[in-house]
Structure 1
Amino acid sequence: MATERAKSRSVTEQFRMGPWLITTRKSHILESEGPQRQTFESSLRLPQVPEMIFADNVLRIQHDDGFGLEFNALDALRRVDADHDPLKVAVSEAWKEARADCEHINDVHKPFDWTYTTDYMGTLLHNGDHKLNVTETSDRIDLEKLKQREKIMFYDDIVLFEDELADNGASVLNIKIRVMPSSFFLLMRQFMRVDNVMIRVNDTRVYHEADKNYFLREFTSRDDKVTDIKLKPHLFTDPNEMAKCLTVRKEVFEKLEFPLPAKQNTAVS
């Protein structure tokens, strides 16, 4: 009976900000077997998937005209390298030691990124030709402005997947969003730690001010070998502290511009 109740637990919340409808859904962990699990796994090329997948969890930001952004576990895992083990190359000796007692990982013969590192930045939603136009930009999210006190109208925190890497660390992908009267801001963060080997933080930030016709989206990937990290070991499990000190390896800065309203988007013959 308890299992049945757990299966049915799903909480959906919605908040409207002008023409935008922000939807969050939090549900149970994907069952270890069954048709839903089979469908999910068959959509991926990975020989193994994370231990805890929240397949029905979602964050969706959708305009009344149908375009927008969505964040979900399946699309995030599609971005995981299914053909190579990047960690083996990056830190080969420490990698061998970390995997020495990893029966769960060593049973897999096909190489893949068993840390489930993903550079996922969200899924674009569209309605016909109505979709966000993505371009590189020199604009930056004003993080100092975000530190200013402003009433939070809506907040949520959603986990997409989590894995303990066969008791050798952790890989967690979650999203936090907060909506203020004048703007909204979301942070999707993957925190990956392989004990005694490496720590990585991949962040996607999306920011929108109500009077602008675009989102700003930034992706940053940071990592270091544990031997190169100068913080005290007890901070190695703190994603916020680690994000401050790790070396930046990759950055992407984009502007996601809105399409013209339908009546203005019609070609003149």
Structure 2
Amino acid sequence: MTETSKNPIDIQKFPLNSEEHTFKSWKVKYEQSHILHSKCSKEGECNLNDESNLCEFCVYSQKVPLPQLPDMVFPKNVLCIQNSNGCELNFNPLDALMLVSDKPMNLEIACAGAWKESRQESGYLGRMIKPFDWTFTTEYKGTLKGNWTVENTNERIDLEKLKVKKSILFYHDLTLFEDELHDNGCAVCSVKIRVMPNEFFILLRYFLRIDNVLIRINDTRIYHDFETNFVIREYTARQGMIQEIKVPSYVLTDPSAVSPHVPLIKSCFEKLSFPSASGDSL
């Protein structure tokens, strides 16, 4: 048997789309490519004791403590924003999925009961109710690297200021992972960035819709004014039963449109300060 026939799909050779730009003292870079392979790309020959040589599938299997992964995981989809002093904001699917609970939560159990009542004739239920968080809910707020100082703050992102029309120097939207819940809804984690002449804004969003049952939205908003040496990070968690959300049905599929109508259950506001690099002018 030839090496090619043993391993007909060399996932490392899929095209990788990447782009990098510098704005003030910040380097913004993204990478984007294929979904995660459904099995070991080395035909089970990965040495699990040698992390440096694991294929991507085995990396996820080792580090994400779940009996299964979302339908679509994009391991190459990474957004990185790095200051010249080395402080970095990084957004990647592995870190997001590592925060998914490997145990059923009371909230999911209650939700499953309501779901079961609305799906009594569906054979899907027996496959989906498993002893882990099958919604892949994550409270991921991004990965910090470098000498950040994190503190709670009363400062807020001026969303009205962000609505003012400005030239967009850079924009990109990346999906980190997605699951269609066997056509009974969706769970999506994505990150968007836009850079303007004097600032950048990032929205990291986990959106869950279980048809006829539940909406959940975990948002992390990150804002930086280039004239300052800090970043504002706001995390909000919203959740509501669909029958209690009084909006037209088409709104339920649009996270931005439905979000204001979903009850806020948790919030966290932080100032992420970083040291000025030598030669930087704030």
Cα distance in 2 for partners of 1:16, 1:90 equals 48
**What is the CA distance between 1:235 and its match in structure 2?**
1.7
Structure 1 residues 162 and 7: alpha-carbon distance in aligned structure 2, compared to 1, 3 A threshold: farther
Question: Identical aligned pairs, as a percentage?
Answer: 43
Report whether the alignment pairs 1:105 with 2:128: yes
Is residue 229–residue 276 contact of structure 2 (8 Å, CA) maintained in 1?
A: no
Counterpart check, 1:251 vs 2:267: yes
Counterpart of 1:145, as a letter, is K
Distance, in Å, in 2 between the alignment partners of 1:143 and 1:49 is 34
Q: Which amino acid in the other structure matches residue 245 of structure 2?
A: I
* Alignment counterpart, residue 66 of structure 1, candidates 86, 96, 99: 86
Q: Is the 8 A contact 1:29 1:53 kept in 2?
A: yes
The within-5 A match list for 1:220-235 is 220-235=236-251
- 1:79 matched to 2:99? The reply is yes
TM-score by length of 1: 0.89
**Aligned position for 1:17:** 23
Contact 1:54 1:73 in 2 (8 A): yes
Task: Summarize the alignment of residues 129-144 of structure 1 with structure 2, pairs less than 5 Å apart.
Answer: 131-144=147-160
Three-state SS of the structure 1 residue aligned to 2:212 is coil
Query: What is the rounded CA distance, in whole Å, between the counterparts of 1:193 and 1:240 in structure 2?
Result: 13
> Does the aligned pair in 2 maintain the 1:20–1:61 contact within 8 Å?
yes
Q: Distance in 1 between matches of 2:235 and 2:275?
A: 23
**In the TM superposition, what is the alpha-carbon distance from 1:217 to its structure 2 partner?**
0.3
- 1:122-165 CA-partner distances (Å, limit 9, x unpaired): 00112xxxx11110000000001101111100000000000011
Cα distance between partner residues in 1 of 2:11 and 2:133 = 34
After the TM superposition, which residues 1-269 of structure 1 pair with which residues of structure 2 at under 5 Å, given as runs?
A: 7-34=13-40, 35-97=55-117, 98=119, 101-102=123-124, 103-106=126-129, 108=130, 111-126=131-146, 131-261=147-277
Aligned CA distance change for structure 1 residues 18 and 141 (closer, same or farther; 3 Å): same
Question: What amino acid is the match of 1:217?
Answer: R
Q: Deviations over 1:235-259 (max 9, x none)?
A: 2111111112100011010000012
CA contact (8 A) 2:171 2:192 kept: yes
* Partner Cα separation in structure 2 for residue 90 and residue 250 of structure 1: 19
Q: Distance in 1 between matches of 2:63 and 2:10?
A: 26
**Displacement over 3 Å in runs of 4+:** 2-7, 85-90, 97-100, 260-263
Structure 2 unmatched ranges of 5 or more: 1-7, 41-54
Mean CA deviation greater in 29-38 or 66-75: 29-38
1:30-50 per-position Cα deviation (integer Å, ceiling 9, x unaligned): 111123212212111111110
Structure-2 separation of matches of 1:72 and 1:6: 18
Secondary structure at the aligned position of 1:117 is classed as: coil
- Given residue 158 of structure 1, which amino acid in structure 2 is its aligned partner? L
1:166 alignment partner, SS class: helix
Equivalent-residue separation in structure 2 for 1:186 and 1:48 (angstroms): 29
Q: Which consecutive residues of structure 1, in runs of 5 or more, have no partner in the other structure? A: 264-269
Q: What is the deviation of 1:14?
A: 0.9
Cα-to-partner distance string for 1:58-91 (whole Å, 9 max, x where unaligned): 0111112211110000000111111123443443
TM-score of the pair, normalised by structure 2? 0.85
What secondary structure does 2:116 align onto?
helix
2: distance between equivalents of 1:88 and 1:101? Answer: 19
Farther off after superposition, 164-173 or 95-104: 95-104
Distance 1:86 1:114 in 2: 13
Measure the CA separation in 1 of the matches of 2:69 and 2:157: 33
- Pair 136,227 (structure 1): closer, same or farther in 2 beyond 3 Å: same
Instruction: Give the strand-richer structure, 1 or 2.
Output: 1
In structure 2, C-alpha distance between the alignment counterparts of 1:5 and 1:93, rounded to whole Å: 40
